[in-house]
Amino acid sequence: MCGRFTITTDRVELVLEKFKAEIAPGFEGYKPRYNAAPGQSVPVIVSKDGKRYLTNMFWGFITPWGEKSDRSKNSQTNIRDDTIERNRFFRDRLTNNRCIFVADGFYEWKKPEGYEHLVRGEKLPKGVKKIPYRIIMKNKQPFALAGLWRSIETDEKKIVTAGIITTRPNTLMLLLHNRMPVILNDKNLGIWLNPEFKDFEELHSFLDPYPENEMESYVVSYAVNNSRDDMPACIEPEI
């Protein structure tokens, strides 16, 4: 899965240059994010009328069936690639509502040595914590996390919600978790952000693990465990 990510440059111009985008009308503003978390407004890029726009979206994709109940409990941080393949609603979103989350790293938590056998739902003993890792590109450059978006109407205003697509892990990520976010290379990014492109099979073929030889990971502080802590200390290596 992908439950936290970072985009740490303090210059929005670098983001715009990297992704050939411009500021969207009504953009709420940019600031570095060291621990972006679900339920927050995060930087996302979408295309419209032949241009790419940097905007803000609510991280937590809300489906029509989730919209009818407690949205805070029914928003989807991640959307699985196999769910997209078999679900007509998500197939349509892949064809028509694509976006990217702007990132330069993301976090994953590894079970400590001796507890690797625990399966989902089994808790670690009291006082034992999973080890947080930050995963980045070896070239330290920003990258694009594949996402889907959907707008909903509330009593007060329209909210645009989005989720990150996940896939099976590469060999690097397999050491940490059994899922990883879909990272788009530059070639696929151009097609992904072209709203006129609607070939489902080709788009779905992009949802593969990113090459592990271009990525690296390192242990970070437990400070990242608290989503309220959004500060440079979150990305510092834990020595």
H-type helices in 100-185, by residue range? 171-174
- Looking at the chain, how many residues does it have? 239
Cβ-contact 110, 176 below 8 angstroms: yes
Name the active-site residue from 108, 196, 214, 216.
108
How far apart are alpha carbons 203 and 213 in whole angstroms? 23
Smallest Cα–Cα separation from 76: which of 38, 43, 45?
A: 38
- Coarse DSSP helix, strand, coil percentages of the chain, rounded to the nearest 5 percent: 25, 35, 40
Check residue 92 and report its DSSP letter: H
Name the active-site residue from 2, 13, 22, 28.
2
Angle, CA 116 vertex, CA 113 and CA 122 arms, to 5°:
120
Q: Is 234 a catalytic residue?
A: no
How far apart are alpha carbons 46 and 36 in whole angstroms? 19
Amino acid at the residue 137: M
Q: Is 99 a catalytic residue?
A: no
Q: Which residues are the active-site residues? A: 2, 108
